[in-house]
Amino acid sequence: MLRIFGLLLSALLVLSACAQTPTSSQIGADGKPLPKVYKIRAGDTNDIQYRMLDSVNSLRQAAGLAPVDLDSKLNAAAATHARDMSIQNRPWHFGSDGSSPIDRVKRVGYSGQLVGENISETYETELETLAAWMDTPSTRTVILSPNARKMGFSWEQENNGKIWWTMVMGS
């Protein structure tokens, strides 16, 4: 009996040694889990754009506002600016050529008026970025503008995982 107990105890110790314990590389200095890199694949474009569109329209509906439609010209303006911010390595609303958001929507042939542009430099997903925009009064105003009828949304992701998000809202 003692021999069986000894074998069971030994087996339990061996199995407990095999259990995975968190390593210091999985927990940050603040004691919270480190974020995982959100890697966007080439084929994810439509899924991400429509997930953002659906989320924005849910927020707009909750605020009693009309939905917006995804616009290919505004998507092009957003993609151009996201790429340009990545090249400049700074998030701001002016292009490396001095262009403003108004200039960029005109360049792509958008016939409506610019309502606003939201930008972000982050490692977060599009929905985490949307949540951050909703927490900031100036970017929330763009998303929930009663004048908005069209939306463009795009990004540029660097090899290290950093994402430059751009949302353009038009009337």
pLDDT of 123 reads: 87
Radius of gyration of the chain (CA): 23
Q: CA-based angle 38:156:135, to the nearest 5?
A: 65
CATH of the domain at 132: 3.40.33.10
Q: Is residue 97 situated within a structural domain?
A: yes
Q: Residues 6 or more apart from 28 whose CB is under 8 A from it?
A: 34
Residue 73 lies in a domain: yes
| Residue 50 belongs to a domain | yes
For range 1-29, the mean pLDDT = 50
In one-letter notation, the amino acid at residue 33 is P
> Which position has the token pair 């151009």?
80
Q: What's the pLDDT score for residue 3?
A: 54
- Let me know if residue 15 belongs to a domain: no
In Å, how far are 32, 81, 150 from 75, measured between CA atoms?
Answer: 35, 10, 10
Q: How many domains does the chain have?
A: 1
| Residue 168, SS3 per DSSP | strand
Average confidence (pLDDT) over 105-112: 97
Looking at the domain assignment, is residue 101 inside a domain?
A: yes
In-domain check, residue 83: yes
Across-strand partners of 114?
170
Domain contains 11: no
Dump pLDDT digits (tens) for 124-151.
999 999 999 999 999 999 999 999 999 9
The counts of H helices and E strands in the chain are 6, 4
